[in-house]
Amino acid sequence: MEKRDFLYEGKAKQVYTTDELDKIIIHYKDDATAFNGVKKASISNKGILNNKITELIFTKLEKKGIPTHFIKRLNERDQLCKKVTIFPIEVIIRNLIAGSMSKRLSIKEGTKPTNTIFELSYKNDDLGDPLINSDHAVALGLCTYDELDVIKNYTLKINDLLSSIFDNEGIILVDFKIEFGKTVDGDIVLADEISPDTCRFWEKGTHKKLDKDRFRRDLGSVEEAYIEILERISK
């Protein structure tokens, strides 16, 4: 597999074409941003850690019947993936209230809602990724109702699988963001990454944060937290 042309760059990753039209290479960087790009830094080895964490999680999900874009990890920072067209939607699950929902609705962080919360944001940096509902998503032409049904079903299943994987390792999956894409064959698959950049992980008992909140809130030991997550799910 040959890495060819640079396609585009996101906040934490770069995407390259390959010698096969339906495959891309995703390169994981150490760059970290928060608050819609206002806070910027480099977290040493984050790219290496998130590449491996995403590989482990996507492989576990595939084994349980969730289709993903992931094909294989090529080296420390690169992974080979199916080329997809990303739905411009951030799909969020909240098992406990934290972050933006805690602030927006003035609910104490860590509060357990009576039901699992399925949330959508419009992936648009200029607008600050605004919260939308399913009617907005369809009206904006981001997806169809049928596609949203598929996305929601996969997302709830992913939440069950991930919550149980992390629970077994002494970690609470507080919330997470995922993205979906459509392959050239028209299949809807889980894409992007699942890592401490995109999830909130709290250690059971202590509620110690093992995710990007350590960077957002200047709590220190960011790399150590990512290493801890990789070690726990590598067992």
Interaction between residue 92 and ligand UDP (CB under 6 A): yes
d(CA 211, CA 203) in angstroms, rounded, equals 10
Interaction between residue 177 and ligand UDP (CB under 6 A): yes
Residues within window 71-90 making contact with ligand UDP, judged by CB under 6 A: 90
Q: Which of 15, 99, 152, 169 binds ligand UDP (CB under 6 A)?
A: 99
Residues within window 132-171 making contact with ligand UDP, judged by CB under 6 A: none
Q: Which of these ranges, 50-58, 76-84, 95-103, 154-162, lies near ligand UDP under the rule CB under 6 A?
A: 95-103
Residues near 75 by beta carbon (within 8 Å), at least 6 away in sequence: none
Interaction between residue 129 and ligand UDP (CB under 6 A): yes
Which residues make beta-bridge pairs with 121?
90, 131
Q: Which of 176, 180, 215, 226 binds ligand UDP (CB under 6 A)?
A: 176
d(CA 210, CA 214) in angstroms, rounded, equals 7
Name the token pair of 26. Answer: 């995703």
Interaction between residue 222 and ligand UDP (CB under 6 A): no
Interaction between residue 199 and ligand UDP (CB under 6 A): yes
Least distance in Å: CB of 162 to ligand UDP?
12
Interaction between residue 198 and ligand UDP (CB under 6 A): yes
Q: Name the DSSP letter for residue 20.
A: S
- Asked whether the beta carbons of 118 and 156 are under 8 A apart, the reply is yes
Quote the strand ranges of the chain, DSSP E. Answer: 3-9, 13-18, 23-28, 31-34, 39-42, 70-73, 78-82, 84-86, 89-94, 117-122, 131-132, 171-183, 188-191, 199-203
**Closer by beta carbon to ligand UDP, 125 or else 231:** 125
Residue 92, amino acid: I
Least distance in Å: CB of 48 to ligand UDP?
19
Binding site for ligand UDP (CB under 6 A): 90, 92, 98-101, 129, 175-177, 198-200, 212
